[in-house]
């Protein structure tokens, strides 16, 4: 099945969660629109109603496509009940019935916005049906209704399904008080080391920790923070914000969007007024998500990143937050603070047609085999 234009809608059958003959059942329809333009107000209202996280909201994807491309291929699949929008997800249209998530390694999470599990499941069914060749979504929560229904529907249609972990992100459940957390979750050796390093750093000048919301001097604060985040090994490995114009644009746009939404937190550890550690965080809905963090390697032995992290977690407790998420991978320095880890998976559903099988073989065995399979498929279709 190809794309359904935005002006058209597809009613679902009772078997697929659509309207039954009973008039009390809601009228469920699925639509696909190109981009957010015609839906922006409804999508934002849905996000508020569903209390959606920042990484599935329109502002995040608009920053992502502006930086990394794909805006012209971005389509939004939506589900309505009796005309009311109840679920949506953006996907990048590829060729011949293939869709993928607008994600890369700057993405900490992906998924739909949905008012309930039923809406999420209906959306998953619709997405599978509209990607007969390949559906490829990454950074999805494996326990979600969307992921479960997506895999179930793909298997039911005889697809070749691959699901594998791509990210394990440590987080802190902010329970009790900061003092109880620090006393119970952190080793005594680690606590002593942070205190010792703080004292040693103070011997070199005035140590200040500050958190800014970006309402003033945002560009200047980002310049200061990105210079610290990009120093040392991150810059050498090309993972720093300032390592490419596209990456820097993305994080500047994300910061500006988060600031307009009232969610931005910029953390600084300064020594005599000079930043030696920095973090960019989004704080909303009881969660603090650490989008980027870095420190000046010249001061590595004093643990400026750890000193700033301790202050940020203490602040999260003071603000009444319930979760502090490090995001990114399962790095050793994050596991000093917690042993709790949230998993994200990549789900690929390959159709049993020439392009679907070629895609599966490309993943399984490599491109030469896939190319030959695609050629055979074309020959058989002549």
pLDDT in tens, 319-335: 999 999 999 999 999 99
How far apart are the C-alpha atoms of 109 and 126, rounded to whole Å? 21
Q: Which two tokens stand for residue 218?
A: 């945002």
Q: Which residue has the tokens 């990114």?
A: 328
> What contacts 24+ positions apart, CB below 8 Å, involve 66-75?
66/249, 66/250, 66/253, 67/246, 67/247, 67/249, 67/250, 67/253, 68/104, 68/246, 68/250, 70/102, 71/35, 74/34, 74/35, 74/36, 74/102, 75/3, 75/32, 75/33, 75/34, 75/35, 75/99
| Residue partners of 111: CB distance under 8 A and separation at least 6 | 56, 89, 140, 141, 144, 146, 147
How far apart are the C-alpha atoms of 168 and 161, rounded to whole Å? 21
pLDDT in tens for each of the 382 residues of the chain? Answer: 333 333 345 555 444 444 444 457 889 999 999 999 889 999 999 999 999 999 999 999 999 999 999 999 999 999 999 999 999 999 999 877 899 999 999 999 999 999 999 999 999 999 999 999 999 999 999 999 999 999 999 999 999 999 999 999 999 999 999 999 999 999 999 999 999 999 999 999 999 999 999 999 999 999 999 999 876 555 445 556 767 899 999 999 999 999 999 999 999 999 999 999 999 999 999 999 999 999 999 999 999 999 999 999 999 999 999 999 999 999 999 999 999 999 999 999 998 877 777 777 777 766 555 455 555 554 444 4
Yes or no: say if 93 and 99 are a contact pair by the CB < 8 Å rule: yes
> What are the distances in angstroms from CA 382 to CA 59, 96, 214, 376, 378?
45, 17, 60, 10, 7
pTM: 0.86
Its CATH architecture, for the domain 10-169+344-351, is: 3-Layer(aba) Sandwich (3.40)
Yes or no: say if 56 and 101 are a contact pair by the CB < 8 Å rule: no
Per-residue pLDDT, 11: 55
H or E element: which one contains 212? strand 207-212
Q: Which two tokens stand for residue 222?
A: 């980002």
Per-residue pLDDT, 4: 37
SS3 275: strand
Pairing status of strand 160-173 against strand 340-350 = antiparallel
Its CATH architecture, for the domain 175-321, is: 3-Layer(aba) Sandwich (3.40)
| C-alpha torsion sign, points 273, 278, 283, 288 | negative
Neighbours of 243 (CB within 10 A): 15
Neighbours of 285 (CB within 10 A): 14
Pairing status of strand 98-100 against strand 134-140 = parallel
| Residue partners of 125: CB distance under 8 A and separation at least 6 | 12, 16, 17, 149, 153
Calculate the CA 136 to chain-centre distance: 15
| Residue partners of 37: CB distance under 8 A and separation at least 6 | none
How far apart are the C-alpha atoms of 180 and 191, rounded to whole Å? 13
Angle between helices 58-68 and 40-50 (to 10 degrees): 130
How far apart are the C-alpha atoms of 188 and 334, rounded to whole Å? 16
Per-residue pLDDT, 368: 57
Q: What residue spans define the domains of the chain?
A: 10-169+344-351, 175-321
Same fold, 10-169+344-351 and 175-321: yes
Yes or no: say if 51 and 285 are a contact pair by the CB < 8 Å rule: yes
Q: Which residue has the tokens 């390949």?
A: 134
How far apart are the C-alpha atoms of 127 and 90, rounded to whole Å? 10
Yes or no: say if 234 and 294 are a contact pair by the CB < 8 Å rule: yes
């Amino acid at each position: 099945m190809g794309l359904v234009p935005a002006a058209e809608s597809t009613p679902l059958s009772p078997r697929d969660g659509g309207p039954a003959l009973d008039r009390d059942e809601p009228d469920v329809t699925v639509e696909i629109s190109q981009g957010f333009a015609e839906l922006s107000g409804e999508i934002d209202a849905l996000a508020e109603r569903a209390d959606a996280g920042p990484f599935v909201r329109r502002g995040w994807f608009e920053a992502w496509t502006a930086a990394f491309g794909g805006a012209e291929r971005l389509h939004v699949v939506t589900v309505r009940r009796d005309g009311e929008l109840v679920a949506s997800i953006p996907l990048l249209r590829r060729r011949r019935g293939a869709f993928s998530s607008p994600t890369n390694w700057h993405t900490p999470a992906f998924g739909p916005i949905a008012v309930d599990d039923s809406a999420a499941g209906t959306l998953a069914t619709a997405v599978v049906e509209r990607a007969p060749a390949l559906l490829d979504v990454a950074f999805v929560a494996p326990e979600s209704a969307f992921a479960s229904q997506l895999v179930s529907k793909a298997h039911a249609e005889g697809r070749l399904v691959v699901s594998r972990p791509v990210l394990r992100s440590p987080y802190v459940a902010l329970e009790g008080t900061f003092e109880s957390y620090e006393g119970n979750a952190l080793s005594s050796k680690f606590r002593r080391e942070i205190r010792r390093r703080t004292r040693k750093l103070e011997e070199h000048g005035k140590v200040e920790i500050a958190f800014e919301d970006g309402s003033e001097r945002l560009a200047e604060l980002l310049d200061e923070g990105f210079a610290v985040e990009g120093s040392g090994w991150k810059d050498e490995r090309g993972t720093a914000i300032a390592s490419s114009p596209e990456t820097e644009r993305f994080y500047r746009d994300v910061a500006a969007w988060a600031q307009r939404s009232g969610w931005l937190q910029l953390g600084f550890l300064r020594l005599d007024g000079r930043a030696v550690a920095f973090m960019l965080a989004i704080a909303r809905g009881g969660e603090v998500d650490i989008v980027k963090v870095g420190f000046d390697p010249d001061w590595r032995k004093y643990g400026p990143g750890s000193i700033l992290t301790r202050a940020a977690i203490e602040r999260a407790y003071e603000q009444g937050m319930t979760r502090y998420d490090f995001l990114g991978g399962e790095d050793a320095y994050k596991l000093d603070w917690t042993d709790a880890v949230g998993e994200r998976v990549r789900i690929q559903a390959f159709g049993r047609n020439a392009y679907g099988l070629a895609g599966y073989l490309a993943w399984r065995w490599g491109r030469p085999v896939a190319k030959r399979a695609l050629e055979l498929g074309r020959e058989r279709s002549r």
